[in-house]
Structure 1
Amino acid sequence: MSSVGSHGAGSHGAGGHHAANGRRVIVWRHGQTPWNVAGRFQGQTDIDLDEVGEAQAESSARLLAALNPDRIVASDLTRARKTGEALGRLTGLPVTLDERLRETNAGRWQGLTFAEINEQFPEESAAWTTGDVEVVPGGGESRLDVAARVCASVQEHLASVPDDGLLVLATHGGAARVAITSMLGLPHGSWSVLSGLANCNWSMLEEMGPDKAARGLRWRLAEHNAGSLPEPVVVEEG
């Protein structure tokens, strides 16, 4: 892991949103890339943002900066790193790079269009499409593998976040989806009920306290696929 950017104030201030109790985690997908447009499975291929993706990163970073994050961690792949850096420039926070936040290693699938994957790997692709968490696309890694490494990263970086603080993770669509479902404790067979994130959209999870049975933290989903509105999404019951 490494850090880029300059140090600055990340404390909660005027205009920031506060959680009543506990820490929050924002899982943020990178901006658009040429392979997103072409419908190619990127996996861990290091594809850069296109012009639209760069603009998306700048726009969503302005919304996230208003939440006054305390720590920013990004996948070391260029598209996620540049997305995280857009927020780092606005907040003055360093961006810590962590390869555990990379997208799924999809082996032989990487670089192929989804039509090509369906044609060349029909059974494997069908299982993947239905949300099978154990299928290994292209001989790479399963959704369970990805969830384990991303959640380990979250746990480590949360240790340096204040009790009411905000951790922002700049990552990838597949990695984001499996991390969120795993953190929420959803049964493996139901992971497909959660939609994927659009480019540069995010989800926010709020800490609910320890789960003694699971010997870990409990989380609730406060926002999902947010970012397309002109202001940060804040919903209160009542």
Structure 2
Amino acid sequence: MTAKSFQNASAGRNRRIILWRHGQTAWNVERRFQGTTDIELTEAGREQARRAARLLASLGPDAIIASDLRRAVDTAGELAALTGLGVTHDEGLRETYAGEWQGLTHEEIIERYPEQYAAWKRGEAVRRGGGELETEVADRAAPVVLRHADKLPDGGVLVVASHGGTLRTTIGRLLGLEAHHWEGLGGLSNCCWSVLGEGARGWRLLEHNAGSLPQPVLGDDA
């Protein structure tokens, strides 16, 4: 689907999408690349999710969807417990698959894959560790988000619990930005979120990396 058709599909109903990153994991703290590896939240991550859920519940969400990886499942579960809403899990919302990079620290990646890492940091389209391109992640994740947003009532709120890299690429796609501009959005800190709202010409970014005072971004999208 083109950027224009994404925008046209969303026009006129004043809905909002809350794109919420999962809580902290041990691999975040260790600066170890997670990708699709199924890592649990730390106790600090669970507390982050509980705190964020209290704030997000006040927005009156109508629906919650989440990645099927445990760190996103457990994060979304905190909001579900407060709101009474069910959670729809979808593997299309998983983090970027990063092949041989997964499980390595950033320092180990730089040592073993220096050219690939440098190209990624320059913003080039890179299959990190032989994995997915960012555009491929957007291709699978953005339609999931739009499909559920289309089910919302006028003025409705959808919460999407997912992963930093996946959410950034999805935001870029829904805003109609070219892929080489997605890096300009920056990363999401653990359990922080971005808000997209509908305008006359499509989705607009209303808030980015909200939820706390500024915190360092720990994780694959740092």
What is the TM-score normalised by the length of structure 1?
0.82
> The residue matched to 1:200 in structure 2 has which SS?
coil
Q: Distance in 2 between matches of 1:91 and 1:131?
A: 39
Aligned length: 202
* Residue from 226, 229, 232 that aligns with 2:210: 226
> The residue matched to 1:103 in structure 2 has which SS?
coil
* Residue from 134, 144, 147 that aligns with 1:153: 144
* Residue from 167, 182, 190 that aligns with 2:173: 182
| 1:107 equivalenced with 2:99 (yes/no) | yes
Q: Distance in 2 between matches of 1:100 and 1:174?
A: 13
> The residue matched to 1:35 in structure 2 has which SS?
helix
Instruction: Give 1 or 2 for the bigger CA radius of gyration.
Output: 1
| 1:40 equivalenced with 2:40 (yes/no) | no
Q: Which residue of 2 aligns with 1:162?
A: 153
Q: Which residue of 2 aligns with 1:55?
A: 47
Higher RCO, Cα 8 Å, sep 6+? 2
Q: Distance in 1 between matches of 2:45 and 2:208?
A: 20
Q: Spell out structure 1 runs of 4+ moving beyond 4 A.
A: none
Contact 1:131 1:191 in 2 (8 A): no
- Identity percentage over the alignment? 56
Q: Distance in 2 between matches of 1:63 and 1:228?
A: 10
> The residue matched to 1:168 in structure 2 has which SS?
strand
Q: Which residue of 2 aligns with 1:88?
A: 80
Contact 1:24 1:164 in 2 (8 A): yes
> The residue matched to 2:169 in structure 1 has which SS?
helix
For residues 109-155 of structure 1, give each alpha carbon's deviation from its aligned partner in whole angstroms, at most 9, with x where no partner exists.
000000111111111111212232x2111111010000111101012
Q: Please provide the CA RMSD for this pair.
A: 1.3
Unaligned runs of 5+ in 1: 1-19, 212-217, 230-238
Deviation at 1:22, TM superposition (A): 1.1
Equivalent position amino acid for 2:77 in 1: E
Q: Which residue of 1 aligns with 2:133?
A: 142
Write 1 or 2 for the structure with the bigger share of helix: 2
Deviation at 1:35, TM superposition (A): 0.2
* Residue from 36, 57, 60 that aligns with 1:68: 60
Q: How does 1:115-130 map to 2 (within 5 A)?
A: 115-130=107-122
Q: How does 1:208-223 map to 2 (within 5 A)?
A: 208-209=199-200, 218-223=202-207
Equivalent position amino acid for 1:148 in 2: D
Equivalent position amino acid for 1:60 in 2: A
